Chains A and B, each alone.
Chain A
Amino acid sequence: MTCLEGPHSNQGPDKSCGPMAPEEELVSSSQLEEEEEENEEEEEDLDPDLAPDLEEGVDEEEEDLGDPAILSAVTNTQRGLPSSPGIKASGALGMSPASLHFLWQTLDYLSPVPFRPTHPSTSSPVRHFGPRLLPPDPYVFCSPPTSWSPRFSHLTQLHPQHQRILQLQQHSRTPRSPAKKPWSRQSDAYANLMTRKEKDWVIKVQMVQLQSEKPCLDDYYYQNYYQKLEKKEADQELLGQRSKVESLKLVTPYIQKAEAYESVVRFEGSLGQVAMSTCFSPRRAIDAVPHGTPEPEIGAASSQRLRVLSWIEKMFLQLLEIEEGKKNGPPQSCYSEQQRNQVEKLFQALKTQEQSNLEETADGFLQVLSVRKGKALVARLLPFLPRDLAVSLLLAVIHHLPLLVKRDAADQVLQMLFKPLGKYISHLTFHELLQGLQGLMLLPPGSSERPVTVVLQNQFGISLLYALLSHGAKLVSLDPSLEEPSSDHTAWTDIVILIAWEIAQMPTASLAEPLTFPSNLLPLFCRHVDKQLVQQLEATMQLAWIY
């Protein structure tokens, strides 16, 4: 019990027991944080009730405090509400922010004195352990700012009528200010029953509940919102709106947790447990640990679906870790060894899903892709994958394209895969391309419709198909050896003719609009297909592709 109790014990008997009690337990939780020497120095500084101490301290540190009259007015009428002794302490000691987080350095409640780090030797750059401070400007005291902002932070959203009323109040009060004190008609004899320490304690308790080691995850929305706000303000400042408006940010403290203790003690050979109570928990119930009960067999289909969904969630968490690593780490495209391992592991997880059979492997991948979140997962994972793995994914997608299209009928979100996959199309070899496309051309037994018709009716499908054809055309044009009559070449021409025929066959209405329309498609069709068909194709494709 070294830390904050130091100042109290030195005070002697006049210090009330009230504030001590709540502080005791908090102190022990913080003793890991505190360093002894810092506490010694703070003893005088932290005590809010020694007004004379403060006055001198304030004079030393707060050089920019223009009017001593203000200060005396403050201290005289609000005894016990000192003007930020804590700030002075921080300036004097130059403590590390981590310990500052725990110490009570919050500002004065009613009459904050602006703080400016005046001593370059002693002050560390102003750390924001609590709210950020508005930059000090003595002239602010005299006149209300032109763009009057609400008294609270940017997040206090008042009804416009409410805001107007407050504004009127402010403006109507300013002319009267030199004449009378604004905050009390007659001196309130019962004011400040709740001392500063107590107020700080309440705030601290509330802050402790907010603490987290990774605010970017736990408090994602606020952190992102604040980043956007800061960026906007920085932009505004650059553009010339010179008034540097700094909006306050809520900074949650990081307080190291107290050591875990055994609240339940077991004796050898005893039948029960003895609950040991401490000041942290006066009583703790016997541990009721839920043991893993075997899941009831719901139904093969639904349980399978649930398994896929939970699998996707696990993979997503891994993906988020990888993205986080990329975001925080150096901004280069080469990944660290650890990252590469993570990506590999994730890819394996994606592919295998704990299934041994190769047939089922592809099936597992398909199941993941059938879920909207699974598609998002794959789309976000693709940029991280090494080329060969990405290409294998691409081939799997092409192979199962009709099935994917059918399953996507409800969600219609396959499009998100187009951009990441499209990048890897150019890495396909001619042979791989042929194989993929041939699969689409095969007539399945018992059906007169080729899989490609379904593909053509879907936006993602048709875009992918066009991209593949374009790539094939490019390969053919680049490599003269492919022009020679060979099984590959015939296969290619067959595919092109078939696709052209299918497109022509399809009514324009059902032909989907592709996301991109490669320019070498029409020439490709011209080469292999007769004129009449080409004209028909042109008409169909132009109509379908509305520009």
Chain B
Amino acid sequence: MAALSQLKMNYMPGTASLIEDIDKKHLVLLRDGRTLIGFLRSIDQFANLVLHQTVERIHVGKKYGDIPRGIFVVRGENVVLLGEIDLEKESDTPLQQVSIEEILEEQRVEQQTKLENEKIKVQALKDRGLSIPRADTLDEY
């Protein structure tokens, strides 16, 4: 009953564990910026995750699109954070779901505008004699 779930035990009191999150729906944010939503089926000591019925969700502005991906095995070190999704509240969102094609198109457009803005900025700085080095072109010493 309800009380049973209330008495849910933590094996290692005072620590965080993913054991209680098993078989629940989670949102996982990865280091490369992807957002995955799926049922957490298995973990290990490195917090590698096995996600089931995973969906990759792309957000652009107020719209989002889901790409079904199936089963994911995520290496623990690539996870930024993850959190449980309340199944009852899941649909209670101001965001608007659109089709995959549309969201990919939106994403492309967003990326393009970002690049253009970046180019304008760099040009403006260059005109003033300043240059901000881009992180991927930095020399590593």
Check B4–A250 contact: CB distance below 8 A. Answer: no
Q: How far is the CA of A7 from the CA of B41 in the complex (A)?
A: 25
Q: Is B12 an interface residue (CB 8 A)?
A: yes
Q: How far is the CA of A114 from the CA of B19 in the complex (A)?
A: 20
Could you tell me the dominant secondary structure of chain B's interface residues?
loop
Residues of B close to A110: CB separation below 8 A:
4-5, 8
Check B19–A202 contact: CB distance below 8 A. Answer: yes
Q: Is A280 an interface residue (CB 8 A)?
A: no
Q: Is A240 an interface residue (CB 8 A)?
A: no
Residues of A close to B9: CB separation below 8 A:
107-109, 112, 131, 133
Q: How far is the CA of A140 from the CA of B8 in the complex (A)?
A: 13
Residue of A nearest to B1 (CB): A177
Residue of B nearest to A107 (CB): B9
Check A144–B6 contact: CB distance below 8 A. Answer: yes
A-B contacts counted at CB < 8 A amount to 113
Check A190–B19 contact: CB distance below 8 A. Answer: no
Q: Which of B1-22 contact A (CB under 8 A)?
A: 1-15, 17, 19-20, 22
Contact partner of A202 (CB less than 8 A), chosen from B6, B23, B43, is B43
Q: How far is the CB of A153 from chain B (nearest CB, A)?
A: 3
Could you tell me the dominant secondary structure of chain A's interface residues?
loop
Check B11–A130 contact: CB distance below 8 A. Answer: yes
Residues of B close to A173: CB separation below 8 A:
2
Contact partner of A140 (CB less than 8 A), chosen from B7, B13, B43, is B7
Check A107–B23 contact: CB distance below 8 A. Answer: no
Contact partner of B41 (CB less than 8 A), chosen from A114, A194, A205, is A194
Residues of B close to A170: CB separation below 8 A:
2, 6
Q: How far is the CA of A260 from the CA of B50 in the complex (A)?
A: 35
Contact partner of B12 (CB less than 8 A), chosen from A182, A198, A203, A247, is A203
Given the known interface contacts A70-B1, A203-B19, the answer about A152 and B10 at a Cβ–Cβ threshold of 8 Å is yes
Contact partner of B13 (CB less than 8 A), chosen from A111, A207, A250, is A250
Contact partner of A222 (CB less than 8 A), chosen from B14, B17, B87, is B14
Q: How far is the CA of A190 from the CA of B20 in the complex (A)?
A: 16
Q: How far is the CA of A176 from the CA of B22 in the complex (A)?
A: 24
- Can you list 20 A-B contacts with CB-CB less than 8 angstroms, sorted by A residue number? A70-B4, A106-B11, A107-B11, A109-B19, A131-B11, A141-B4, A152-B13, A153-B10, A154-B14, A155-B14, A155-B15, A177-B3, A188-B23, A190-B23, A190-B52, A194-B43, A199-B19, A203-B17, A222-B14, A249-B13
Contacts A133-B9, A140-B3 aside, 8 further interface pairs with beta carbons under 8 A come to A70-B4, A152-B13, A155-B15, A188-B23, A190-B52, A191-B23, A206-B17, A248-B10
